[in-house]
Amino acid sequence: MKTTLTSTMKPTAAEVAMNETKHNTNPKPQPGSPDFTSRRRFIQTAAALGSLAAVPASAAVDDTGKDKSRTAPNQPLAQDYVVAFRVPHKHAVMGPAMAVLPDGKYVAAVEIKDYARNTLYIAVLLSQDKGKTWEKVCEKPWASAHLFLYDNRLYMFTRPTSGNGVWVTATSDEGRNWAEPVEVIKGIPAAGHAGVVVRDGWLYCAITTVKKMGAIACNLGKGLLNPEAWIESNLAEMPIPDALVSGSFTDGLGAVHMRTVEGNIVDVYGRMLLIARACINHYGTQNMAAVFDLKNENGKLTLTFTQLYPLPGGQNRFHILWDEPSQLFWMASTYATNSQDLIHAAKRFPDYKPSPWHPLREDRRILMLSYSLDSLNWFQAGCIAKAEKMNQAFNSPILAIDGKDMIILSRTSLNAGNFHDADLATFHRVRDFRSLAMDIQPKV
């Protein structure tokens, strides 16, 4: 029996609260809803708002000369989410993936943790109406998922629940059935493909041991399901200078064993970089990323640590995506507000008893959209979505572009009790996302 979840389901009280902000008393839907009517015309306020609007007034006029609608700068761009998947009791969403098929349908793959059985599985979802409704079309006993469309065929990077390595499978019927996965890289304990690059007939993606980063590449001419087409790099480690560590934090999820994970490969005008999530000082130091240089010289893949670089939301999984029409990189990442607990959250909320793995200083409430020329220096486009409570979250986002819109799949914690063991995968749409960017191309 297939399951279809839509935004027209009767929301729980917590869902209603998460879809509102304390200062939003407007009963109308947020931008992204088909029924949205703007609270204000951006063209009328761009001059007054200036740099706060993060977009020139000229960008507020489309090809037909009509004014574009835009949300107020202090309101989320896509708070009106659709519940794509809700986990059963004692389950958690661990990571989402999403792709847009050539016919415009969306396929998502959600990694689920079954705590009762202590195992993982993948739920594959399909939307045939641009994300308004989703149906579960299959489940697979695999762990980890990243979707990649190549030559009109959809592929998934995955692995067995009890094994290591990188495995690849493919579907030709919108995710309903999948080929038997093929092990293309042996021995790597964890996959980390957040963003991939195709260049000169090669596909590149990141891998991780959770302490060290690596990269793998496939000669596409030989086929993604052919192990002989794949090569792997050396493993490289991110150092942590003493100057980046302030105080000593002993709480924080995964902080003991994680250092660099979930890397993005980007091609910056011919230079390939691997930019990875950096877990520093039990998340006491946030908004940093590890930057590595990646080279493919005659079929030999080499990865070298280059530097630590400030990146907003770099402490959690982020996704970087190149957009050809705007000639910009776009990124979704989660901002923190209390990384060293300087606001004394425990005193503010004395009745809340977080576990050592889910401290109040490691919040994941605010999901942001940014843009960049070089994938290092980022400008805010706006907030995608914001949760109200410190134990709720919008995080681990996956981006995809559908025409003029940016679509996002989020690992979302609403009623899970903590920000990590998410109970939802939520779908968001930022309409006309390119109009959010200022013209930052250099001129002389």
In a domain, residue 387? The reply is yes
pLDDT of residue 406 exceeding 90, the answer is yes
Do 210 and 287 share a domain, yes or no? yes
- Over the stretch 344-397, which tens digit does the pLDDT of each residue have? 888 888 887 777 677 778 889 999 999 999 999 999 999 999 999 988 999 999
Mean pLDDT of 49-53: 34
In a domain, residue 428? The reply is no
Which uninterrupted H or E stretch holds 288? strand 288-297
In a domain, residue 218? The reply is yes
CA distance 354 to 204: 39
Do 205 and 101 share a domain, yes or no? no
pLDDT of residue 330 exceeding 70, the answer is yes
Please give the residue that has the higher pLDDT: either 430 or 249: 430
Mean pLDDT lowest among 4-13, 51-60, 172-181, 348-357: 51-60
Do 106 and 175 share a domain, yes or no? yes
Do 213 and 159 share a domain, yes or no? no
- Over the stretch 12-47, which tens digit does the pLDDT of each residue have? 555 555 654 433 333 344 444 333 433 333 333 333
The amino acid sitting at 284 is: G
Do 108 and 77 share a domain, yes or no? no
In a domain, residue 296? The reply is yes
Q: Are 167 and 184 in contact (CB under 8 A)?
A: yes
Do 50 and 115 share a domain, yes or no? no
Which of the four pLDDT bands, split at 50, 70 and 90, describes residue 247?
A: confident
Expressed as residue numbers, the domain containing 308 is 192-340+352-409
Do 59 and 89 share a domain, yes or no? no
Reported pTM: 0.84
Do 207 and 326 share a domain, yes or no? yes
Q: What pLDDT score does 253 carry?
A: 54
Do 308 and 396 share a domain, yes or no? yes
Count of domains forming the chain:
3
Do 160 and 265 share a domain, yes or no? no
Q: How far is CA 277 from CA 104, 304, 334, 419, in A?
A: 31, 16, 11, 18
Do 235 and 378 share a domain, yes or no? yes
Please give the residue that has the higher pLDDT: either 188 or 120: 120
Do 23 and 171 share a domain, yes or no? no
Please give the residue that has the higher pLDDT: either 443 or 41: 443
For the chain, give the number of residues.
Answer: 444
User: Percentage of the chain with pLDDT > 70?
Assistant: 81
Q: What pLDDT score does 14 carry?
A: 59
Last residue of a domain, one of 141, 156, 182: 182
Which of the four pLDDT bands, split at 50, 70 and 90, describes residue 54?
A: very low
Domain of residue 100, CATH code = 2.40.128
Last residue of a domain, one of 182, 215, 239: 182
